[in-house]
Structure 1
Amino acid sequence: MNKKSFIGLMLCATLCFSFGLNVFSLNSKSSEVQQEFPEVREQREIHLEIKDTYDKIEELEKKAYEDGVVSEDENRQYKELIKKTEKLAEEDRLAKKFSNDSIQSTDEEDKDSVLYLIESARELAQMQALALKHNAKAYKQATNQLEFIDKLEEDFLNNRLSIKEAKEKIKDFGSIE
């Protein structure tokens, strides 16, 4: 790989990383809600691992930009990190499908837990959009999911949806694709 194409690839990845920081900024939520929904906690852990991977990619890009030379080892590490990111994005896509048990496990109608589920679904859709941005059709589907989540949140906050209805729509979120 020549120097120009590698630096171009790194600049592209840097832009993705910048966008990724916005997408993966994690809001701290109450531990009660996290204990209530273990699938959501698992998804947060995947998001943190993806963020760590992006941090490593940025370090490699920065070093290559400063040095102006790319070693075989750095090139290999970079490719491994990109593959790891793709693998984590796939794991996250699979983890986003909330099980019926986790959503129906709470009989208590708790508005905060629904808002937390909506926010988690939004983060998953944003991450999927980021991972699929190179595929126009898949990217369009991911942005449709984001629009669905925004509408769901708006309806819920404006009391056009009950907590039960909102949970049902969140449960259906995994099948929007």
Structure 2
Amino acid sequence: MATCPRAHGFFDPLVKVTYSLPKTALVPLFILWFGIGSTTSIVAVAMSTMLPLIVYTYHGVHDTPNILIWSAQAMGTGQRGLIWKVSLRSAQHGILTGLRIGLGFAFLIAIAAEMIAAKVGIGKLLFMYGETGAYDYMFAAVFAVVIAAYAADQALLSITNHCLRWQPSAGQH
């Protein structure tokens, strides 16, 4: 999208329309399409995590400094090489930021989708504990989700710091 005006013209309105939608509101639609089960949860999570990744990748590639592109072209880099070797590497920070935001959405949507459209899973467990008044178990399950989300975020942050170790600001997150 950032390098091809035709792709931008086609995909930009789709991304803008779907980005502002509450992703949990799509779960009933996915139930109609995919039925109750893990497929609905997987599609809902994929949809909610894909959009931040697309937006941050787009802005990262779009904001590639022209001097990098001109220098690579002067050294004989072709269009495909510009995208893979220059633009995507320049956009690494944006891509990893989109992944981190998507990771938070993934936990949120997975739990919500399981509460609505699953037969098993921690979301269904939370819902059942809340319905039956087993609040101690419900809070224990919430605590387990928080610990898992924190561990996943810290792991992704470590990967980000490793991938961006060449940047002066790496490791300061």
User: Same fold, TM exceeding 0.5?
Assistant: no
Q: Provide the TM-score with structure 1 as the length reference.
A: 0.31
